Amino acid sequence: MKIANQIKRLRSEKGLSQDDLAEKIFVSRQTVSNWENEKTYPDIKSLILLSEVFETSLDALIKGDLNEMKRQIDGQEYARFLRNSWILTIMFIILLITPIPLAHFLHWWGIAVYIAIFALTMYFAVKIEKYKKKYDIQTFKEISAFIDGKSLSDIEKAREEGKRLYQKILLAFCSALAALAVTAVTAFLFIHFLGQ
């Protein structure tokens, strides 16, 4: 948030007119107007007086409302995470239901299309993994809490971290079995339909 917006917002929150603010910090109303319209910027003396009038730190005045900005950024990240999760889910469903039609209608070209769909699905899977790593969410409970916009307590977080190793081993085993099954079925279907 720019300092001009900060001054305007904080002045409004205090219920001060430009004249009132100018009087409190010993400048003209035109000077305050110029600050708010980004024509000029306050000097250090004026910044100190502004922080006293607005009862805020210089950091908060200059840098803006960091908590609000962080919330907006986190909200955008959360929205991207949800959007990418839905795309991944849809791509995975498409990946499961397209081998037969692709093999039947496109024959060998169907394999190329299927590989393209697989690559796109993996792209979104990698994006989801990056979110999980960035926000340190691995277990189902951690992901559920993140999606609900909540965070786990330190004790709950420690418990979930203890479960990660077991869940990773189980997930790797189940993923390998699922991949093997999908590969076998897909190979069988492609060979069966291409052989006709």
- Domain shared by 80 and 132, yes or no: yes
136-157 residue pLDDT tens: 666 666 666 766 666 666 677 6
Q: Do the beta carbons of residue 149 and residue 78 sit within 8 Å?
A: yes
- Domain shared by 165 and 84, yes or no: yes
pTM (two decimals): 0.46
- pLDDT, residue 107, reads 79
* Sign of the four-CA dihedral 123, 129, 133, 136: positive
For the chain, the straight-line distance linking the first and the last C-alpha, in angstroms and rounded, comes to: 65
Q: Do the beta carbons of residue 92 and residue 121 sit within 8 Å?
A: yes
Give the Cα-Cα-Cα angle 168, 149, 155 (nearest 5 degrees): 55
- Domain shared by 60 and 19, yes or no: yes
- Domain shared by 11 and 30, yes or no: yes
* Cα–chain center distance at 31: 40
Which of 47, 64, 81 is the endpoint of a domain? 64
Which of 64, 80, 95 is the endpoint of a domain? 64
CA 42 – CA 34 distance, rounded (Å): 9
Residue written as tokens 């070209």?
Answer: 109
- Domain shared by 57 and 76, yes or no: no
Q: What residue type is assigned to position 180 of the chain?
A: L
pLDDT higher than threshold 80 for residue 119: yes
CB count within 10 Å of CB 47 equals 17
- pLDDT, residue 1, reads 46
Percentage of residues in the chain having pLDDT higher than 90: 14
Which of 37, 64, 91 is the endpoint of a domain? 64
CB count within 10 Å of CB 129 equals 11
Pull the structure tokens for residue 34.
């110029």
Burial 146-168 (b: 16+ CB within 10 A, else e): beeeeebeeeebeebeeeeeeee
10-28 residue pLDDT tens: 899 989 999 999 999 999 9
For the chain, the domain total comes to 2
Q: Is pLDDT larger for residue 147 or for residue 118?
A: 118
- Domain shared by 10 and 95, yes or no: no
The average pLDDT across 89-97 equals: 88
What SS3 class is residue 140?
helix
Question: 29: domain CATH number?
Answer: 1.10.260.40
- pLDDT, residue 123, reads 92
Percentage of residues in the chain having pLDDT higher than 70: 74
The average pLDDT across 107-116 equals: 85
Q: Is pLDDT larger for residue 128 or for residue 164?
A: 128
54-76 residue pLDDT tens: 888 877 777 654 455 455 556 67
Give me the chain's average pLDDT, please: 79
- Domain shared by 141 and 181, yes or no: yes
The average pLDDT across 125-132 equals: 83
pLDDT grade for 180, boundaries at 50, 70 and 90:
confident
- Domain shared by 29 and 115, yes or no: no
- Domain shared by 144 and 119, yes or no: yes
Q: Is 54 exposed, middle or buried (0-12, 13-18, 19+ CB in 10 A)?
A: buried
- Domain shared by 111 and 88, yes or no: yes
pLDDT higher than threshold 50 for residue 87: yes
Q: Which domain holds residue 41?
A: 3-64
- Domain shared by 96 and 184, yes or no: yes
Q: What residue type is assigned to position 35 of the chain?
A: W
Helices 108-134 and 99-106 pack at an angle, to 10 degrees, of: 150
- Domain shared by 90 and 182, yes or no: yes
29-61 residue pLDDT tens: 999 998 888 888 888 888 889 989 988 887 777
